[in-house]
Every structure is written in C-alpha cells, then in structure tokens.
Chain A
C-alpha cells in the first residue's frame, strides 16, 4: 500500500486517466452536439466500435496512424448515416434505432475481427510521442499530459474550439433552438433537419475518432466489444454537462481516472480483484447520476422528431 502516493503510481494513474479519458472526451463532445440539437444518440457505442475497427484496420494495413484516425472518423460517420436517415429525416424512435445500431455494430465488428484478426492478432507498435519542451519535464503532470501523441493535444484543443462554436457563433444558437423548439428555428428559414444532420454526423466523426484512439493508441489492438460502454458513458457525460464543452472534459477525466485505477493499482502492487475495479466507472456513473442528476437540464425537444407544420 505504501507505494500508492509515490511518483510512479501517480504518474501512471494520471497518464492512464488521460489515455482512458480521451475516447470518453471525444464521445462526450460528439454526443453533446447531437443532444443540443435534440437527438439522443445511443447509437454512439456502435459508432465508436465502427471507428475502432476501421481505424485499426487502416492503421495496420497502411502503417500510418494518422490514416487510421481518418478512417476511424469516416467509420464512425458511416454508422451515423442510418441514424440520420431513419431518425432525423424519417422521424423514427431515436432510442430504438440507436440501440439497434449499437447491437448491429457489436455483431458486425466481432465477426470481422474473427475473420480477419483472430488467428494472427496483429498489434500496432506503441505510438511516438511529441514531448512539449519544458512542460513535459514537470513531474507527474509532464509525462501524463505533455509527453503524448499529438492527437491527444488536438483532442484537448477541441474543447475550447467547441466552446467558441457554441457560445460565439450563430450555429451554436441554431443547435440550441433545434433542441429546444425546432419550429422556432424552422420559421427563421434555417433547416432543422440539416442542422440536426450536421450534429449527428459530427457525433459519428467524434465517436469514430474516439474508437480509433482506443484501438490504435490505447490498446494497439482491436478486439470485439472493446469500447466497454464508453459510448454510453459519453451519453451520460453529455447529459450532465449542461451544454458546456468544458464540463464534458472534466467528466471525461474523472471517469478516465476511474478506468485507469486498474492499471495503477497493478503497478503499485495492490491486490484488488479486477472485477471490482472494472465496476468502478459504472459505480461512479451511478453516484454521479444520484448526486448531479437533478442538475442536468436537457433540451426540451430531446428525442422528439421534428415534422414541419405538425401540431
């Protein structure tokens, strides 16, 4: 136990929190845009899996991690397309379609894995990091935050970028109006369906990137069901974040920390059954929901399809 508060433990914990938190961050940010616009996107778990598979396959066969990310984003967006067509355009139930997409992608990626990788289990090499001069020398924080693959920095930069988009542009207003009272947006001549479509595709892109990061950087390998509910945690994060990108970041790091405790405990040589530790993030979800659940303020039209002229 005495190893717990020492530098190697804390460094591993923090570094692990970031590694585990990045997919949550991306999923949460993506989901946030959908929810703002009034689409509850529980297909996001499937979008992450799609991104993880496509990203890994591309990275392993091209040898380029960046091509892998690109493919991951495209994979996630591809899974978002049926969500757009069925829920945004046709007005079908968002939860039903979302769960369907998640289950479908779980099956599909498991089969593809079985056919393609299950004999060889190919692995990607550990990614190169880009240490940031000076900052990366800070003890504990340095290695965890500032000696990472450039993708990590980009992911963090997304937070202020989205905050500016939401607060400082008309598109941010459109998103809120689409989720609050879509008819009010429609009558100003802005297409509600198009706005929601952009939001859902963005969710797909972000979820796909998150999945690709999970496979290519976090694990270096693709295995079935590897997202382990990260997408659903992203849904919870978005719901609790009250529309603020920074809150998604905070939440993602807390949950990422829970996930990384597993590895950190092993490094510190603490013997806790892994089952218990793996339960931790979900227990945290429940605690967080009990404590903060009341504060969630969801868009009024969340989950409701918009049909022009309907009363």
Chain B
C-alpha cells in the first residue's frame, strides 16, 4: 500500500449562508473556470448550517476577506491511499472502510485530528501540516510513503520524530457524538469536465440558490430532509454528492452513475459543532463499519461530519453496531484499568 502525500497546501473555511453572495464570483471561477486559476484542489459542500470550502492556497486567493467567512487557522495536507502494485483482482471494501483500520485508527491513536473528504474518485485524508512528521512516523510501518513534488512522485522519508513521543496507550474513544439520519437519499457521482459548461447554470442554481422559495416549498414538507450538496474539482476530476431529487434535475447521461445505480443514506455526526481539535471522531464511525465490512463515504465539513452508507444498509442496524462497538471498547478499557 502506498500513501501519497499530495503537494496541495489546503485551507478549510466556512462561509455563512448569508455570506454566499459575496463569494459567488470567486467560487464560480474556481468551480467552472478552472483554467483561469492555478487552483488544483477545490471542494464546496453545502450543509444546512453553512458552506464548507476546502481549497488550496492558489484558490484561496480568489475568495474575499469577510466576517462571514471563518477560516480554520491550520494549513492542511491531503493524504491519499493508493493500492500500489499489489493485489488487483480481489474485491476490496470501498472507500473509508478500506482505510479505517490502516490510517484512521492509528492516527486517532496518536491524537492526530483528521478531516475527511470522500469523492467519486478517491478518499482524501486531510491532516494538519504541523502534524505531518507524526503522521509519517505513525504510518510508515504500514505504508510506502510517497510525496508528490511538482507532479512527480518521490519517496518521502520518515523524519524520525520519536523523541518525546512514546507510543500512546490505546485510548478507547469514549465520546460519542449524537448521530442522526435524514430521510433523503444521496448519490455520489461525477461528470465529464467537457460537459461541465452545459450544466453550469444548473449547478450554479443548485449551489447558490438552494435557499430559494421554490426549493424551500418542496423540501420543507419533510422536516427530516436535509440540505446537503457537495461539489469538488480536484486535479481535474469532478465529484458531486447530491440528493436523489437534485440528481433528477440533471439531463440524462450527463452524470456518471455506477452500474448498480445505488443510492446512499447519510449519517450526520455531531449535535454541537465538532471543532478541529478533537481526534477519533472519524475512527469512531469508520472502525465499526470496517469491522462490519460496510462500504461508506465520509465527508467532514466545518461543523459536522457526514458518513454515507449504502441505501440497503439498515441505518438502525449501524447505529447500534457503533454503539455496541463503543460499549465493548469502554468495557475493555474498564477491565484493563
């Protein structure tokens, strides 16, 4: 397994709902006119609370300064797991599940806070730049560490930060944030960048005018409906996460769908904004899912985290499973101590 440390220096920001107007120019440029900027990594996720932006430093310059925009003060680096040369044919678990045990759990064990972004193409694990030596140290046993420099992949060397950091004791993850599951279904999809101009107006409408009265009228009838839309354009690849109703607004054959055409159910994590310092939140969710071999997407936003699991998966099965796992951990911890 290879762990690629990508060269993007990322900023995570939140734009308040009423602040979106002042940012639309920059966001549209980043989303639809990628050739006019030097931005290589851009993600916009709308939740009921805010818009979360993940963007590299080049792209960050396109955004205005405003009180309505809050920026997480750290610089983040994206990690990407590539299966490398190994076993190609075996059917592997999809997405976050695959990396839960190998990446997410060890990082959580070392108190490294992570920020997840799953896309149609891959999963990005964002870590703070300052945590990188520790990340590399933690993961070097499991992975071939490679760093992308000027587009070329080169071997990264463990910086050897063992001094002062003894292997932390395995802390069970005692805090469980409240989980909720909205009723609408989501699809994770993509489209051909060449066809982007033809759906640009539609995308703009979805991205920036979701609060419009027409939309509100239809969606408000079901209170458990959640407004969630994610657009990312990373290294030329477009990924979209939207609910079933929004997807139906797109013309035929524009969106890439899986052959199975499956839909995904969302699990929202957190009742209060989660902040950036707490560790192990992703691990709390992904570990039990991995144990149960349930494929999942995971998208962190500025305030809350979102996991997507297959529609067929009974959400009520998962939550107890997570609960059960945690209980086990707690009891295990208790018995040890």
A binds B: no
